[in-house]
């Protein structure tokens, strides 16, 4: 069977949920027995988002192979069973980098290098490569940005050309638009959608399916109107009304037989779908929690919903696993610096300190961790969160008053967190951290083992600094348990405290592997401990 390619574009405005839409399409196709993979095209010139501020870009999602990618890849992995690599996220920067390198090598000798065909060919080759390497039946390609942006034109042009190469029944164009409800007029408006489809047509793409984001139900009449003006069959005008949980979206699509419409276009006959487990174990549990638990996330990128995306999702998954609704209280660590932890943290049942870079807000995180440790509040520290827990313990329990990380104070007297040899001579900042999956050995008697249930685990990393083993004995004598080690380099991966309801901090990012129907064991244990704390 020839591989099938689905292009997902967006129109009218950004932030319509193209990533979740693409992931949900992946889910319903997977439920029909197809092997899917997903790609994200990002029209910016950075090679990857690794060096961008989270306020610019949101979370940087890390794949198993250590690529720093767009956060939509997180949605893809959470909704489907696809495992993504560095080839699944393509940026304009990567494409030009490759084409210019080839030009310098002389690969195009004698030719003038142009957007068409050289850039567009490079983009198409990347789709073919992923199709080949993944051996997927269907590749879903989400094109970032909004139709009409200058930046995304080469990607859209490559998508247009793809149908010429691969054939009508092997390519499908899905366009996501906004159908706004105008309150003062009391009406739903289709004009922005008509314009957006018009713009896409000017580029040479006639969408086969339209997915309409809306606050209100779309009447038959509205669907007919959209169908007529946009030249799309009425049943292929899909309503995507706001949902309570994003995990409902595959069911919303399924109810409108989106999977059948897609399979019909591809001339595919597949087994019938089974989303019953997803509905029962994810959606119904998310919508009908028996308990409620308030968890503080103490970070410095609190203002942006997307900056800690995978962490928030992992907390939701852990809630689902414990039949509880997790209410996330986002607390700016600089506010803790200003008014102390008591006021802001007194009524939370768990405290999570996420990863981060740089000195701003760190003292607030350290105060929050001390508060959790001294008041027996369940605590989960991730990456910088673990480093802060080490600093806090060294300062307040081991008498090393000025302990710090050498990232935060290069001349600290007690660098309990520092650079290992390999990192010391690195000059380039892009793609040079400890990145991707590493094995970790969990000690059998630890709490971590109780949650993981196994000795050998694999978790994803994204950091430069490490626990400084010179301080290991001292901290151990004062009560820290070093319960997870990367054996090959003897690097500390997990620390915990014994006499505490839940105090675990990890150098890696467990949030990247949590799934709605398979919550990460540490998050699950953390939420369980938080529920048990009365």
Which position among 459, 463, 511, 520 bears the catalytic label?
A: 511
Residues of this chain that interact with ligand GLN (CB under 6 A) are 355-357, 383-384, 407, 462-465
* Integer Cα distance of 94 and 105 in angstroms: 16
Backbone φ and ψ for 295, nearest 5 degrees, come out as -120, 135
Find the shortest distance in angstroms from Cβ 459 to ligand GLN. 13
* Integer Cα distance of 498 and 503 in angstroms: 8
Active site residue 383: yes
DSSP H helical segments within 135-214, as ranges?
Answer: 153-166, 191-203
Nearest to residue 136, comparing CAs of 145, 127, 149?
Answer: 127
Find the shortest distance in angstroms from Cβ 506 to ligand GLN. 10
Find the shortest distance in angstroms from Cβ 382 to ligand GLN. 7
Which position among 57, 118, 463, 509 bears the catalytic label?
A: 509
Find the shortest distance in angstroms from Cβ 521 to ligand GLN. 20
Which position among 383, 388, 398, 440 bears the catalytic label?
A: 383
Its sign, for the CA torsion 130, 134, 136, 140, is negative
Nearer CB in complex with ligand GLN: 373/463: 463
Find the shortest distance in angstroms from Cβ 425 to ligand GLN. 16
DSSP H helical segments within 440-495, as ranges?
Answer: 447-452, 472-477
Structure tokens at 21: 């839409």
Nearer CB in complex with ligand GLN: 366/384: 384
Nearer CB in complex with ligand GLN: 211/386: 386
> Which residue lies nearest ligand GLN, judged by its C-beta?
355
Place of tokens 């800690």: 308
Please, what is the Cα angle at 14 between 245 and 320, to 5 degrees? 15
Active site residue 265: no
* Integer Cα distance of 503 and 349 in angstroms: 13
* Integer Cα distance of 70 and 93 in angstroms: 14
Nearer CB in complex with ligand GLN: 169/406: 406
Backbone φ and ψ for 430, nearest 5 degrees, come out as -80, 125
Nearer CB in complex with ligand GLN: 128/472: 472
Cβ neighbour number for residue 111 with a 10 Å cutoff: 10
139, 88 in Cβ contact below 8 A? Answer: no
Active site residue 509: yes
Cβ neighbour number for residue 444 with a 10 Å cutoff: 11
DSSP H helical segments within 17-110, as ranges?
Answer: 18-30, 54-57, 72-79, 92-105
Nearer CB in complex with ligand GLN: 350/355: 355
Find the shortest distance in angstroms from Cβ 439 to ligand GLN. 19
Q: Which residues are catalytic?
A: 383, 509, 511
């Amino acid at each position: 069977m020839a591989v099938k390619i689905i292009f997902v574009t967006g129109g009218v405005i950004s932030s319509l949920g193209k990533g979740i839409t693409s992931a949900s399409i992946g889910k319903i196709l997977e439920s029909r027995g197809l092997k899917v993979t997903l790609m994200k095209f990002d029209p910016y010139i950075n090679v990857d988002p690794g060096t961008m501020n989270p306020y610019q870009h949101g979370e940087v999602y890390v794949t198993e192979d250590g690529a720093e990618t767009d956060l939509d890849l997180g949605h893809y992995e959470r909704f489907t069973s696809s495992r993504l690599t560095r080839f699944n996220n393509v940026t304009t920067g990567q494409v030009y980098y490759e084409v210019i390198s080839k030009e310098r090598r002389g690969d195009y000798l004698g030719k003038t290098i142009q957007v068409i065909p050289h850039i567009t060919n490079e983009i198409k080759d990347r789709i073919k490569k992923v199709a080949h390497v993944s051996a997927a039946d269907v590749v879903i390609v989400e094109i970032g940005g909004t139709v009409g942006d200058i930046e995304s034109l080469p990607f859209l042009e490559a998508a247009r050309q793809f149908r010429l190469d691969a054939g009508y029944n092997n390519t499908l164009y899905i366009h996501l638009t906004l159908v706004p409800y105008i309150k003062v007029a009391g009406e739903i408006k289709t004009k922005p959608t008509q314009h957006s489809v018009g713009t896409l047509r000017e580029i040479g793409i006639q969408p086969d399916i339209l997915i309409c984001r809306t606050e209100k139900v779309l009447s038959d009449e509205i669907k007919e109107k959209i169908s007529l003006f946009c030249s799309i069959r009425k049943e292929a005008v899909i309503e995507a009304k706001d949902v309570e949980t994003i995990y409902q979206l595959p069911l919303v699509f399924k109810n409108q037989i989106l999977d059948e419409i897609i399979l019909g276009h591809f001339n595919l006959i597949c087994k019938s779908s089974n989303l019953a487990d997803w509905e029962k174990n994810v959606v119904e549990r998310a919508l009908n929690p028996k308990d409620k638990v308030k968890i503080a996330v103490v970070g410095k990128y609190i203002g942006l919903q997307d900056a800690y995306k995978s962490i928030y999702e992992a907390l939701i998954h852990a809630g689902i696993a414990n039949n509880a609704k997790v209410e996330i209280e986002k607390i700016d660590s600089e506010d803790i610096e200003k008014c102390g932890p008591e006021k802001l943290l007194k009524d939370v049942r768990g405290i999570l300190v996420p990863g981060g870079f740089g000195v701003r807000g760190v003292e607030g995180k350290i105060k929050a961790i001390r508060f959790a440790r001294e008041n027996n509040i369940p605590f989960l520290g991730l990456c910088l969160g673990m480093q802060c827990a080490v600093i806090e313990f060294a300062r307040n329990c081991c008498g090393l008053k000025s302990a710090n990380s050498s990232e935060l104070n290069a001349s600290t007297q007690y660098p309990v967190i520092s650079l290992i040899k390999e990192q010391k001579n690195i000059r380039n900042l892009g793609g040079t951290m400890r990145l991707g999956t590493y094995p970790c050995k969990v000690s059998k008697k630890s709490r971590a083992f109780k949650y993981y249930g196994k000795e050998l685990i694999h978790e994803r990393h994204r950091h430069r600094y490490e626990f400084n083993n010179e301080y290991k004995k001292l901290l151990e004598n004062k009560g820290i348990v070093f319960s997870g080690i990367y054996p090959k380099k003897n690097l500390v991966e997990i620390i915990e405290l014994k006499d505490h309801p839940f105090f675990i901090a990890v150098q890696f990012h467990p949030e990247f592997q949590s799934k709605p129907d398979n919550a990460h064991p540490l998050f699950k244990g953390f939420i369980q401990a938080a529920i048990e704390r009365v």
